[in-house]
Amino acid sequence: MFDKLAVAVDQSEESDRAVAAARDLALLSHGVVRLLHVREAQVVAGKGGGVFELEEVEDIEQLLQKEIAVFEAAGVPVTTELRHAVLGHTAIEIVAGAEEYGADVIVMGCRGRSELASLVLGSNAYKVLHLAKRPVLIVR
C-alpha cells in the first residue's frame, strides 16, 4: 500500500484538505509522512536585480508546525523538508523531493482553476501529475 506519503503543502485551504486526506490515508496504511514545502524565489535580472524570496521564514515555520500538529494528533509519524525553487519550478522540486524520499504516493491540493487559467498560468498539480513516476493524489 502507501507506506511513505509525500505531502506537498502551502498556505491554501486546498493544502489543508490534502493534509487531512493524507492523514486518513496514512492511518489506513500505517504509513509515515514527509511534508514538503517549496519556498519560491523570484529572480530579477538587470541592474538592481537579485533573488527575492516570496515567503517569510516565519510564515513557513508556522505553516509546517500547523500541519505537523495534524499528523501528531493522529499518531502518524511525520517529518518535514523545505526545498527551494525559482518561481515556476515548484512542481519539479515536489517531484524531486518525493523521489528522494522514496514516496509511494504524492498528496497535494489543487486550487481548482479553470482549464484555461491552468493552461495560461500553469498548475503545480498538473505539472506534478505529468512529471511524477509514482501515484499522485490531488485533493480539491
Domain limits of the chain? 4-139
Element (H, E) at 114: none
Phi and psi dihedrals of 80, rounded to 5?
-130, 155
Q: What percent of the chain has pLDDT over 90?
A: 78
Report, as an integer, the average pLDDT of 62-69: 98
Q: What is the pLDDT of residues 109-139, one digit of tens each?
A: 987 555 554 554 458 998 999 999 999 999 9
Count helices and strands in the chain by DSSP H and E runs: 5, 6
E strand or H helix at 121, and its extent?
helix 115-121
- What homologous superfamily does CATH list for 4-139? HUPs (3.40.50.620)
Q: Render pLDDT for 15-37 as a digit per residue (tens, 0 to 9).
A: 999 999 999 999 999 999 999 99
pTM of the model: 0.90
Cell of 140: 480539491
Work out the burial of residue 38: count CB atoms within 10 Å of its CB; fewer than 13 is exposed, 13-18 middle, 19 or more buried: buried
